[in-house]
Structure 1
Amino acid sequence: MPSRETRRIKERLTGKKDEKGKIKQFNPLTIPSVIIIGLVLLGLIWWGGSRGSVSSGDIVFAVYDGRPVSWSYGNYFARKISEAAQLNQGIEPERMVSLLLPYMIFHTAAMMEAEKSGISVTEKEVEDYIVNIGMRESYNRADSIVRHELFDTYREELIELKVLENMIQPYADAGLQDFAAAMGKKERKFRFVQWLYDEYPTQEIIAFAKEHTDLFRRIKLTPLVIQEEGAAREARNKIITDQSTFDQQLEMIGTGESGTAASRDWLTFHSLSDALGNKEATEALFALSQGQISEVLPLGTQWVIYRCDQPAEAADLSDPNTINEVKLYVTQSEMGRVETYFEDRARAFVEQASQSSFSQEAAAAGKTVYQSGFFPINYRGLPFLKTIESPSAGGVSLTDAQYDSVFFKEAFSLQKGELSAPLLLGQKVVVLEFVEERELSDTELD
């Protein structure tokens, strides 16, 4: 079942390829920002670009003024794709790249202009930026490698903001200033309750497992992974004609992914089917008897031959490990089911609370009532406006909503004391109650 939030995001997002052509060079600091963004986003894009490698592991999607816009492990593009994929589960990778590509080209242009103009940021500025956008806790929790990658990502974001600021500043007028001030002038505070996806009931997990027992069948296999198809077919022929044994071929030509301790563990039908991308081939593997050898099968960019070490067996739903496996599958591949379950409960909560009160229904439902601080409409966490507060250690907040336009539209449309519809935020569903609104003075805005 696809995620409802994914469907909603798909409806909101559109992507259209423009006529191919090399991006023209421009100086962002010499023309209005609207024209720049229009040029970059609406037409002067080399879509598809070069699919070759700049260096090992790099994938080039476009070229701007001679500079490749590329993906490589841990770089800015990779992190932005990863962030978008987490927010929009279910959108195909090619679609995700095409949606992000116009922005990435603009980002590349901004970084090149920063180099030409000598725009840079200090370590202290980046650290302050991390705090301002509400990411301090997750940044501090990351290991050193990820933290280094995150720091580079935030550094580039901040440089881009500085370039944009320089672009806009010469054309700033009273109307623009009034608009920015109006956005930040009114702040609202909310109470809220939440339903965490991690709290999805075990009985629901078991019910799903009973409906889909075939997915959780398991088999024990040893893979022989080989780089070339021809070599794989030759190896299989030697094995089935008794010119060699599976173990001998494993030792002689198997890659580092062959026959590891982990690979010889039990494999479920759904995990093997996902790895191979072929349900029929997976069914054939699950029909193997002990000691039998599979056909040569494609495995990503390599080829694989499996030996059956223990035949397939049905899922044991009395085994806690099986239930954990099912839960992991449901929360990763059937998120729509989880969302629907909690949305239904949140909707029932709203109906009941409308007949009594938010506090009474929260107590009856066993829900803790949390309270946000004051914040304005600040979609995407613009640094010159107040953002949703980060939680204290172990605390609860609404920071997942900072980049959700649906949340801001719903939250700032409520009348005082009114409850929101159920809102999907990250790994939870929340219901808001609008508590209070305040208007900041010009001095406070400054």
Structure 2
Amino acid sequence: MGIIVSMSNIDTRTATVLFFWGCPPMGALLICARKRSYMPSKDSKTPGKDDANVVKFNAKDEKQAVKEKNRPGLTVSKIVTYVILALLAIVMVFGVFPSFGSRGSSSNIEFGSYDGTPIEFSYGNYFYRQYQQQAQQNKATGDAAAYQIWRGAFESTVFQTAMSKKAGDAGIRVVDETLNKAIIDSGVYDKDGKFDIATYEKASIESKNQVKVRYEESLPVQMVVNDVTSILSAPAELDYIVQMGDTARSFEYAVFDSSAYPDDLTRQYAQANPALFTLIDISVISLADEATAQSVRASIESGSTTFEEAAKTNSRDSFAAEGGRAGTWYLYELQDNFSVPEEVNVLYSTAVGQVSQAFAAPNGYVLYRVEQAPFLADFEDSEVLADVKAYIGTRDAEVVTAYLEGKAQEFAAVAALAEDFAAAAEEAGVQTVSVEATPVNVGGSNYLAGFSYTDMGGYLNAVANDTEAMKTLYTTPVGEVSTPLAANNAFIVAKVTGESAMDTEMSDYLKLVYPYMSQSQSQQDLIQSIFTSGKLEDNFLTAFMENIMGVGASN
């Protein structure tokens, strides 16, 4: 195993800006990520009730807030986007394009500035044209689409402004000959594939001016972009990357997570925190807003409809088809579906058969019906103990840290002398994960494979950016066992099972694609340098919410 070249590790901002500049990076995909929440049902503890469902209280339109599973880490940009999309979900949008009246209107919307130059939206300017272009590309409707379109136009304008300043600082000017050639080559006045003087003369003065301005703005910027992204890399740089790929190592590791915590200590923890593991059997109806929830509740209470019929007709979650039947849940699980977590206690006080009040959830409102009164879980049940261990591991990991580290150290000493690592792990009662040859890639370089590709368990990937952990993994002699490493609220002990060089086929492939990857990286670095610069004042969110969505501080 040698190197796997990642062709799609391009952030959304970079891809968007380059796409509308006409130079999409190789492998770039524009992705709008959504967070979703899943909670494992306990219907197996409800007599006569078969549960294969996964709860997602706002599932029909995929709008529920989420618990993260094993997935790539979130960037600040993504986190902000999730927050914004959640805010937009409560806004009714009747129009997302501001009214400017006549062409002579002086109405402007300022979204920030770059190096003192306002980033503003006004009739006919660059921001305005970018908005129109992106709206044509993105045919989706709704709040999320509006945000994406406006944000994309804003970022393109920031990029244009920054690069125009770089062009000005470099003394780049567009001479008439270059401008005229660019306009002719653009094909805007072509007929039958060739420039047509008659077509040009028929065009209005306004149209001609728009085309001229467009190329006067874009040509200097394109020259700067081409200069920056066409810088040649030294042959020694590629040799260094290939050399890094020649140190690929394979591993087998044992995992000491909360599942290894003793049953008696787990039972003690549960008995000390009984409320968290109190179960309740419920049915649910998930609705978009409080008014709808109150209306549905009134219909059920008046007898004009049943809870089951109301769920099938109105509910937005995955239990609608079952008449809202959701099964049995721990209190700590249900807390995640309450905007005010303490309100779960009100639900637990609701009488059996009664429809609850409408509770605010992360993205809507929920009605519950209690099917069975709350009851304490059976702490002698192995499945319950597994649930308690999972809770401790993810929400109270400090409880088990010292114990797991000690067990990992004991195992490392035994495994160092054992001929069969997997057998030693089995005897210790822990699972092992095998990882194929992977080069050292501490910085997460796009040019090299990393544990995100090869580690199906996810624990080595969790320490991929930890310099000391990676040093341990790649300096431990082949055939020997590492010291315990902390990863994902657990401890792992790894055995280095082999080391291999890059094969000729992979080496040749890397040499082929490296120039393209290098150019793509230069594009990304250029854009990131602009958006992380102290010269950028980003007031987009405030301006968007107040001027586009109509939601201000006084609303």
Q: TM-score, normalised by structure 1?
A: 0.50
Taking structure 1 as reference, are residues 358 and 93 closer, same or farther at Cα in structure 2, changes over 3 Å only?
farther
Percent identical:
17
- Aligned equivalent of 1:307: 369
Paired with 1:370 and 1:283, the residues of 2 have a C-alpha distance of 41
**What is the letter of the counterpart of residue 181 of structure 1?**
V
Which has the larger Rg? 2
Task: Specify which of 42, 46, 71 is matched with residue 33 of structure 2.
Answer: 71
Task: Specify which of 458, 472, 477 is matched with residue 410 of structure 1.
Answer: 472
Matched-pair contact (CA < 8 Å) for 1:84–1:96: no
Task: Specify which of 296, 303, 312 is matched with residue 245 of structure 1.
Answer: 303
Paired with 2:267 and 2:381, the residues of 1 have a C-alpha distance of 11
- Aligned equivalent of 2:388: 326
SS of residue paired to 2:418 = helix
**What is the letter of the counterpart of residue 342 of structure 2?**
E
- Aligned equivalent of 2:314: 255
Q: Does 1:195 align with 2:179?
A: no
Task: Specify which of 418, 440, 448 is matched with residue 377 of structure 1.
Answer: 440
Taking structure 1 as reference, are residues 94 and 208 closer, same or farther at Cα in structure 2, changes over 3 Å only?
farther
Q: Does 1:178 align with 2:222?
A: no
Between stretches 414-423 and 285-294, larger displacement belongs to 414-423
**What is the letter of the counterpart of residue 70 of structure 1?**
C
By relative contact order (CA 8 Å, sep 6+), the higher-ranking structure is: 2
Q: TM-score, normalised by structure 2?
A: 0.42
Q: How does 1:22-33 map to 2 (within 5 A)?
A: 26=21
- Aligned equivalent of 1:211: 272
Taking structure 1 as reference, are residues 420 and 91 closer, same or farther at Cα in structure 2, changes over 3 Å only?
farther
**What is the letter of the counterpart of residue 412 of structure 1?**
Y
TM-superposed deviation, 1:286: 0.9
Taking structure 1 as reference, are residues 235 and 172 closer, same or farther at Cα in structure 2, changes over 3 Å only?
closer
RMSD: 5.6
- Could you give the per-residue CA deviations for residues 140-198 of structure 1, whole angstroms, max 9, x where no partner exists? xxxxxxxxxxxxxxxxxxxxxxxxxxx989713222123123313445566x5512548
- Could you give the per-residue CA deviations for residues 404-427 of structure 1, whole angstroms, max 9, x where no partner exists? 133433222446787533235679
**What is the letter of the counterpart of residue 314 of structure 2?**
T
Taking structure 1 as reference, are residues 371 and 234 closer, same or farther at Cα in structure 2, changes over 3 Å only?
closer
SS of residue paired to 2:360 = strand
Matched-pair contact (CA < 8 Å) for 1:423–1:431: yes
**What is the letter of the counterpart of residue 274 of structure 2?**
T
**What is the letter of the counterpart of residue 314 of structure 1?**
L
- Could you give the per-residue CA deviations for residues 205-242 of structure 1, whole angstroms, max 9, x where no partner exists? 433322321112122333344444224334545666xx
Matched-pair contact (CA < 8 Å) for 1:290–1:308: yes
Taking structure 1 as reference, are residues 260 and 416 closer, same or farther at Cα in structure 2, changes over 3 Å only?
closer
Matched-pair contact (CA < 8 Å) for 1:349–1:361: no
Paired with 1:206 and 1:194, the residues of 2 have a C-alpha distance of 25
- Aligned equivalent of 2:404: 342
Taking structure 1 as reference, are residues 339 and 87 closer, same or farther at Cα in structure 2, changes over 3 Å only?
farther
Q: How does 1:356-395 map to 2 (within 5 A)?
A: 357-359=416-418, 366=427, 375-378=438-441
Paired with 1:182 and 1:193, the residues of 2 have a C-alpha distance of 26
Paired with 1:223 and 1:248, the residues of 2 have a C-alpha distance of 13
- Aligned equivalent of 1:401: 460
Paired with 1:385 and 1:88, the residues of 2 have a C-alpha distance of 17
Paired with 2:329 and 2:286, the residues of 1 have a C-alpha distance of 16
Paired with 1:389 and 1:225, the residues of 2 have a C-alpha distance of 36
TM-superposed deviation, 1:345: 1.7
- Aligned equivalent of 1:86: 70
**What is the letter of the counterpart of residue 274 of structure 1?**
D
**What is the letter of the counterpart of residue 460 of structure 2?**
A
Paired with 2:442 and 2:34, the residues of 1 have a C-alpha distance of 29
Structure 2 residue runs of 5 or longer lacking an equivalent are 1-12, 37-61, 83-151, 157-227, 509-555
Paired with 2:67 and 2:375, the residues of 1 have a C-alpha distance of 38
- Could you give the per-residue CA deviations for residues 282-322 of structure 1, whole angstroms, max 9, x where no partner exists? 10111122344422222344333333333222222234453
User: How many residue pairs were aligned?
Assistant: 312
Matched-pair contact (CA < 8 Å) for 2:290–2:364: yes
SS of residue paired to 2:322 = coil
Taking structure 1 as reference, are residues 358 and 372 closer, same or farther at Cα in structure 2, changes over 3 Å only?
farther
Paired with 1:389 and 1:281, the residues of 2 have a C-alpha distance of 39
Taking structure 1 as reference, are residues 267 and 259 closer, same or farther at Cα in structure 2, changes over 3 Å only?
farther
SS of residue paired to 1:359 = coil
Matched-pair contact (CA < 8 Å) for 1:358–1:433: no
SS of residue paired to 1:276 = coil
Matched-pair contact (CA < 8 Å) for 2:278–2:330: yes
TM-superposed deviation, 1:200: 2.5
Matched-pair contact (CA < 8 Å) for 1:224–1:259: no
